[in-house]
Amino acid sequence: MPVQFYIMLAIIVPLLVLVVILSSKGKNLNSIKAKTVGDGQHGKARFATQKEIAQAYPLTAFTPDLWRQGKNLPDSKDAGIVIGFERKKGTPMCRLDCSDSHTLAISTTGGGKTTFFLYPNIEYTLACGCSFVCTDSKGDVFRDYAGIARDCYGFTPYVFDLRFPLCSDKYNLIHLVNKYIALYQESGKPEYLARAEKYTKITARSIVHTKGFDGGGQNAFFYDSAEGLIASVILLVSEFCPKEERHIVSVFKIILELLEKDSDSENKETYFHKLMRQLPPEHKAKWLAGAALAAPDESMASVISTAISRLLSFIDSEIEQLICFDNGLDTEKLCTEKSAVFIVFPEADKSKQFLVPLIIKQLYDECIEFANHHGNKLDRRMYFFLDEYGTMPAFPDAEAMFSAGRSRNILQVPIIQSLSQLEENYGRYGAETIKECCQNIIFGGLSPLSPAAEELSKSLGNQTVLSGSVSTGSSSGSGRKGSNQSLQMIARPLMTPDEIRTLPMGEWIFLKTRNHPMHTTLKRYSDWNIILNQPFNIPSHPLKPIRYASRETLIGSVHHRFITHNPEPFILETDYEPPAQKKQFNSYS
């Protein structure tokens, strides 16, 4: 045979062997990679590209050392939520979301909620000169940042410490009612009276609708009547009692005393009926208590007992030092001047946590009221950093708070450990509403058993990836083995629950409406060049004697004004003037 034949044979045989080997290796399961294929038949979920991130979230230098010296401060119009950390030429840079959106942060205990997420955001908010309210369950945040806010950024700090009320600023729960009643008595303007009545009803509703309240069920009448009774007595205490006695504990004491029967009356009527008879027919306190007045004696006693039971939480000698004195915080200053409010509550003592939603709800409502009277929007953005939002008692009308604040430049940042906390506190539909109102979601550091990982995985969506199967068999005739490979497209979550649970420390996922999710990084506050100064401490105040309103004083004041003194009614001029005389509206003053 020619030499050329052997040369060709020597080349072809190894090539055939190589082809067989490669083809056999190609037909195995390891050769099928879960790469993105198709045209989104099963989903088009993906992470945002660097170009998209740069367009949606501006990058700015994070220089607290210069900010605290008053240098290179960002403008209040550039306020936003810190959602990412980068470093350029040794300088920390922060990625910001500057939209007017509420942000829900999710991370388990020890996942970095405070030191990785909250501290950089507080520092940037201070640099922008925006007022904020922050809840603090351990006391670390106010100790670390109240002094920095005051000394480095010119803020006025307010600390309401429910753990140590003697080392706290004061907060009177009915101070807004007192404020507008006083303004009404000075000016006679009915809009002030209307505001006082509004905050009276809001406070009473907040007290009755505490955690675990389900509307009362078959006893709804007693709860609704108790709410009206509490509102009625708040209005009376604020209008007729001395200034030092205008607080919520006086309301409890007055209701307790009004339950007693007057032994001098012929019909043995209660002091409650005696007091209401002395009020003029148009007095709103009489109307608010109308359901209790119309009820039989036994039912009225149940209404008063229900009201007393809802006020029992305020009976605490320590807490009274905080809630029975005039406020140090003026909400107008909170909206117009640089103010930092820290609300510290004990994690273990549930008996004092109920005050946190009441205080925040009042601050929130007053900020909205201020915005309504000043262009329907605050000039500078205000943030409510609500750490441990899921462990606190439910906020009254929480869903309405989210929708009302956003358009007025008031944004919430609830920080929770698990999505199940929302459902436990607000029910299924309430939790869904809160999640939908938060157009920004950032999460990381979840528990290994966290069921939230499944829900978050679904929210990230699916992508279309390659899948398939390999079958191996032999021919019965020749005994030769062969492999068959089948490929198809399937849906795969952008991140599976186990991938979410195993995110490394400092790695977070950020979701925003109308944007692809972003894989981001947040570092511990020390990596941001944040230096914590000397801890902020409030000196212990001496124990103050508390003055309580009494039934005799209240009834005497009402009797003096409407029975003995009988002043001329306040006359309100209107645009319409009848030919004979001006129209007059009777009003109590």
Evaluate whether residue 132 is within a structural domain. yes
Q: Which residues does residue 466 pair with via DSSP β-bridges, in sequence order? A: 489
How many C-alpha atoms does 302 have within 13 Å on its Cβ side? 14
**What's the CATH number where 110 sits?**
3.40.50.300
Angle, nearest 10°, between helix axes 452-460 and 419-437?
30
Q: What is the pLDDT of residue 369?
A: 87
10-18's contacts with Cβ under 8 Å and 24+ in sequence apart are none
CB 325 within 8 A of CB 272: no
Examine the domain organization and report whether 239 and 378 are in the same domain: no
Same domain, 225 and 242: yes
| 487: β partners | 468
Range of the domain at 387: 50-171+327-472+483-528
| Nearest alpha-carbon partner for 361 in 325, 414, 400, 328 | 400
Domain assignment of residue 517, yes or no: yes
Taking each helix axis as running N to C, give the angle between helix 297-311 and helix 190-208, from 0 to 180 degrees, rounded to the nearest 10.
80
In 3D, which of 415, 421, 436, 445 has the Cα closest to residue 509?
Answer: 445
Give domain status of residue 224, yes or no: yes
Mean pLDDT score across all residues of the chain: 86
Cα angle at 342 between 145 and 416, to 5 degrees?
95
Let me know: does 360 contact 162? Beta carbons within 8 Å.
Answer: no
| Same domain membership, residue 164 and residue 227 | no
240 plus 304 within the same structural domain: yes
d(CA 452, CA 171): 37
User: 161 and 131, same structural domain?
Assistant: yes
Please check whether residues 198 and 297 belong to one and the same domain.
yes
287 lies in some domain: yes
Q: Do 153 and 180 share a domain, yes or no?
A: no
pLDDT given for residue 587 in this prediction:
42
Rounded to the nearest angstrom, the gap between the alpha carbon of residue 90 and the centroid of all alpha carbons in its chain is: 35
DSSP code at position 44? B
Domain count of the chain? 2
Same domain, 277 and 159: no
Token pair, residue 578, equals 């009848």
Distance CA 94, CA 521 (A): 10
pLDDT digits (tens), the chain, 589 positions = 566 766 776 777 777 666 655 555 555 556 666 677 777 777 888 999 999 999 999 999 999 999 999 999 999 888 999 999 999 988 999 999 999 999 999 999 889 999 999 999 999 999 999 999 999 998 999 999 999 999 999 999 999 999 999 999 999 999 999 999 999 999 989 999 999 999 999 889 888 876 555 555 556 788 888 899 999 999 999 999 999 999 999 999 999 998 888 777 667 778 888 888 889 988 999 999 888 888 777 787 888 888 888 898 899 888 999 999 988 788 888 999 999 999 999 888 888 888 999 899 989 988 998 999 888 999 999 999 999 999 888 887 888 889 889 889 999 999 999 999 999 988 888 899 999 999 999 999 998 888 999 999 999 999 888 776 667 766 555 556 666 767 778 888 999 999 999 999 999 999 999 999 999 999 999 999 999 988 898 888 888 999 999 999 999 998 888 876 555 443 334 343 444 444 444 444 3
Name the pairing type of β-strands 410-416 and 103-106. Answer: parallel
Residues 284 and 335 in one domain: no
Residue 526 · residue 77 · CB < 8 Å: no
Length of the chain: 589
Would residue 437 count as lying in a domain?
yes
∠541-139-333 over CA atoms, to 5°? 70
Which two tokens mark 124?
């940037």
**How much is the pLDDT for 459?**
93
According to the model, what pLDDT value does residue 217 have?
55
Domain contains 124: yes
Partners of 472 in the beta sheet? Answer: 483
Residues 384 and 448 in one domain: yes
Domain identity same for 182 and 128: no
Write the CA distances from 284 to 270, 288, 321, 491, 561, integer angstroms.
Answer: 20, 6, 30, 63, 16
Give the CB-side neighbour count of residue 229, counting CA atoms within 13 A: 33
Question: Do 163 and 103 belong to one domain?
Answer: yes
Instruction: Specify if 27 maps to a domain.
Output: no
Predicted pLDDT at 38? 74
Q: Which long-range contacts (CB under 8 A, 24 or more apart) does 335-339 make?
A: 335/131, 335/367, 335/370, 335/371, 335/374, 335/378, 335/382, 336/379, 337/131, 337/156, 338/129, 338/130, 338/131, 338/153, 338/154, 338/155, 338/156, 339/131, 339/155, 339/156, 339/157, 339/158
**Given this model, what pLDDT does residue 481 score?**
63
The DSSP annotation for 52-67 comes to HHHHHS-EEE--HHHH
* Whole-number Å distance between alpha carbons of 525 and 504: 17
42 occurs within a structural domain:
no
